[in-house]
């Protein structure tokens, strides 16, 4: 049975010039989709079909790209939910977060909530698909990997651990078709009331490494972080778990 795979893409921005381009992580989602489904991959964008940077995705070898036509400031969630349901998608791939707009990274989780599908973050590879389940590799910190078996349909976010995207060629980019679809326009009330500003990177704590040799310093730098005063919670109630998480956030200075 053929598994229907859909990759969601957005308009990216060059980190230095700010020029519109294909988004790096979204391009990785397209690359992974092409490796799994080939020309049967469906790529979807919610926005303006006249955006020239979308053709960079077509240049990866796509015959067409589906555009759910909506203006800036519209909520992409309802249109994407309806499209994925009608398309009977089984694997939905996306980047971790958009390079323009809100860039909150919440869209995959909101889609999973609306559709009732599991969400896998940090997808590095899809190893196999069989009997309504997919065996995948999830990227963890320090180059570690975790193998998961996930029931389909599912949503997966792709980050820099996934294979790099192929180069976009000019000829296929111009020959590919941007197919516009009329959808119901829903205003994003939250975005309309919000004030956007560039995100500031959080300062990272520096670990003092005392080692005599280069081998010892390398071992200390790549060693898995120890648990310290952490604890493993098993068989606790939701209230106890929430209190433990809140206590940790306060101790780490995330919540003041």
- State the chain's maximal CA–CA distance in angstroms: 65
Q: How far apart are CA 5 and CA 247, in angstroms?
A: 40
Residue 180 burial (C-beta neighbours within 10 Å; 0-12, 13-18, 19+): middle
Cα–Cα distance between 81 and 111 in angstroms, integer? 7
Give residue 148's pLDDT. Answer: 94
Q: What is the model's pLDDT at position 15? A: 85
- HSE of 108 in the Cβ direction (CA atoms, 13 Å)? 29
Angle at 125 between CA 124 and CA 130, to 5 degrees: 145
Angle (CA) 54 98 102, round 5° = 120
**Which pLDDT tens digits describe the chain residue by residue (256 residues)?**
578 999 999 999 998 888 999 999 999 999 999 999 998 999 999 999 999 999 999 999 999 999 999 998 788 999 999 999 999 999 999 999 888 877 788 999 999 999 999 999 999 999 999 989 999 999 988 788 999 999 999 999 998 889 999 999 999 999 999 999 998 888 877 766 777 777 677 776 656 656 667 777 777 666 655 555 567 788 888 888 888 888 888 887 777 7
Q: 87: buried, middle or exposed (CB in 10 Å: 19+, 13-18, 0-12)?
A: middle
pLDDT at 142: 79
Query: Is 140 in contact with 159 (CB distance < 8 Å)?
Result: no
Q: Which CATH superfamily does the domain covering 5-193 fall into?
A: HUPs (3.40.50.620)
Q: How many CB atoms lie within 10 A of CB 65?
A: 22
- Count of other CB atoms within 10 angstroms of residue 51: 14
Domain boundaries, the chain: 5-193, 214-251
What's the pLDDT score for residue 206? Answer: 59
Q: Which two tokens stand for residue 207?
A: 């670990």
CA distance 127 to 120: 14
Q: Which of 4, 43, 5, 50 is nearest to 26 (CA)?
A: 43
């Amino acid at each position: 049975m053929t598994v229907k795979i859909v990759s969601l893409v957005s308009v990216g921005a060059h980190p230095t010039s700010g020029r519109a381009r294909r988004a790096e992580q979204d391009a990785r989602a397209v690359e992974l989709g092409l490796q799994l489904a080939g020309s049967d991959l469906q790529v979807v964008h919610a926005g303006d079909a006249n955006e020239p940077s979308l053709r960079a995705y077509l240049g990866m070898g796509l015959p067409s790209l589906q555009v759910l036509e909506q203006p800036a400031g519209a909520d992409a969630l309802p249109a994407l939910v309806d499209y994925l349901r009608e398309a009977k998608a089984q694997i939905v791939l996306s980047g971790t977060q958009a390079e323009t707009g809100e860039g909150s990274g919440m869209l995959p989780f909101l889609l999973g909530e609306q559709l009732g599908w599991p969400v896998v973050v940090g997808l590095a590879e899809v190893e196999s698909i069989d009997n309504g389940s997919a065996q995948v590799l999830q990227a963890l910190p320090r180059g570690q990997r975790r193998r998961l078996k996930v029931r389909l349909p599912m949503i997966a976010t792709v980050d820099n651990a996934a294979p790099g995207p192929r180069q976009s060629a000019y000829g296929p980019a111009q020959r590919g078709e941007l197919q516009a679809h009329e959808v119901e326009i829903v205003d994003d009330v939250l975005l309309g009331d919000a004030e956007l500003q560039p995100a500031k990177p959080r300062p990272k704590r520096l670990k003092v490494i005392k080692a005599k040799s280069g081998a010892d310093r390398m071992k200390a730098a790549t060693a898995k972080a120890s648990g310290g005063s952490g604890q493993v919670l098993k068989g606790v109630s939701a209230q106890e778990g929430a209190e433990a998480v809140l206590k940790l956030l306060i101790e780490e200075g995330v919540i003041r």
